Amino acid sequence: MTAKTLTGVLADYVAGSSFEQLPVDVVDRTKLIIFDELACAVLGRKLIAGDLIGKFVAAMGGVPEATVLGSNLRLPAALAALANGTAGHADEFDGAHITDGHPGAVVVHATLAVGEARRVTGRDFIHAISLGYDIGTRLVASVGGAFPLRRTHHIHSDHLHGFGAAMACAKLLRLAPDGIRYAAALAAGHAGGLAVVFEERRHMSKALSTGQAAFGGATAALLAASGFEGHDNVFDSRHGPLGWAPGEAPVKLVEGLGSDFAVRGANFKFYSAGYPIHAPVEAALKIVAREKLTVEDIASVTVGLTAHTRDTVSNREMPSICVEDMLAVAIVHGRLGFEEAHSAAALARAEVRRLRPRIHAVADPELERTQPHGRGARVRITTVSGEHFEEQVDHPRGHALRGGVDWHSLRDKWQELLPDLVGKSNFEAFLELCQGLDSVEDLAELTQLLRT
């Protein structure tokens, strides 16, 4: 087999790369991703999708290799990846990426399960996640991006991160380039999830999609390690995932490997709501605070979004992915914390019910022109006295193009939620361990802090 194929180039890159080659900023950003994604899975265990998938895998049983976060269960690595990947996206609180999608809920939980089972070091875990992001996000970009993939082929792009997870897990398993090729090929059977999950009511099958991709990635690598084989060059076959790619786009799959690290494009969320809602909430709260407006002052709120994001979050049945619901709650309460985003009582408040019909999401031609696949918003509030106040947020807080986050901001994000789930001392130990993860000799030191 030749290494000149796209698959060969990727496999050789994965096999030949090392933690020592990662720049300092990439290591630190990956540790931030790990802290945030694992916290999301612990929180997600308490939500309906995380709870049900936990019960499902518990009933299956098996060799106790890896931790189901937020529980006292230890199960075979692939089942733990399924449970944690699902819980990690059980709510819209987990990270995203500038290429769109949720690579963290897939890559972090697949590599965590395999890494814990094989007792790998924190350095190996960090490196594997960086590799998984490099491959998965490039693959999404190579097929034209998440929106065109969904619109043209009806495929949910998060499933493509299973390829990155498979090759990252293969690295943890110390497979040679041919084994890494096979891991990628064996992940293909889990990569065709339909985008119909975006139309559901309760965010359960959408959460399951990241769990399935994590399961598929972990399973593919473990099968390859056992001697199972697949297509030699899955990314070069016209029947592989790049069969969905337009024109010359496949070259994006290998561009910048080893220098343009994809974790730098990771986005972090600070509202427990659909991502297109974050910029509108931030903009509206800024106007209300600056102008000292009350609900009774507001005659109307116009939310300018791209056509795609408007269609995604406008007048949805599920409140946490409905921009009108979340904006009304945020303005009335002066914030949009986790409790407000999920509270039936918050939605039922008289002020919220009065404000909700005054909020209108529209397609904004300027945003459509300048950032057709972006997460920006332009909010215009008109008062009953006829004044107009406008605020535009191009990139919500935590977005990579706005500068990302630091440990202080992520600690603040989780300070109200995680200590109640794992205990205050475990929360502090978890935070400290993630900050120094490159010095940890056994990944089990991390997972044992997140068992409840």
pLDDT digits (tens, 9 = 90+) for 376-429: 999 999 999 999 999 999 999 999 999 879 999 999 999 999 999 999 999 999
pLDDT digits (tens, 9 = 90+) for 4-32: 899 999 999 999 999 999 999 999 999 99
At 427, list the tokens: 């929360």
Q: Helix axis angle, 205-225 relative to 103-117, nearest 10°?
A: 40
Distance CA 276, CA 298 (A): 22
Instruction: Note if the pTM is more than 0.85.
Output: yes
If you average pLDDT over residues 307-335, what whole number do you get? 95
Instruction: Residue 91: name the closest of 37, 156, 138 by CA.
Output: 37
Q: What is the pLDDT of residue 1?
A: 41
Distance CA 433, CA 109 (A): 17
* Region for 227 from its dihedrals, namely left if φ exceeds 0, alpha if ψ lies in -120 to 50, beta otherwise: left
If you average pLDDT over residues 320-348, what whole number do you get? 96
Domains of the chain in start order, with CATH, are: 6-270+403-450 (1.10.4100.10), 275-393 (3.30.1330.120)
Beta strand pairing call for 74-75 and 66-67:
antiparallel
164, 216 in Cβ contact below 8 A?
A: no
Instruction: Residue 166: name the closest of 7, 331, 45 by CA.
Output: 7
CA atoms within 13 A on the CB side of 8: 6
Amino acid at 310: R
If you average pLDDT over residues 300-324, what whole number do you get? 95
If you average pLDDT over residues 35-53, what whole number do you get? 97
> H-helix or E-strand containing 127?
helix 122-142
Beta carbons within 8 Å of 399's beta carbon, 6+ residues apart: 98, 267, 375
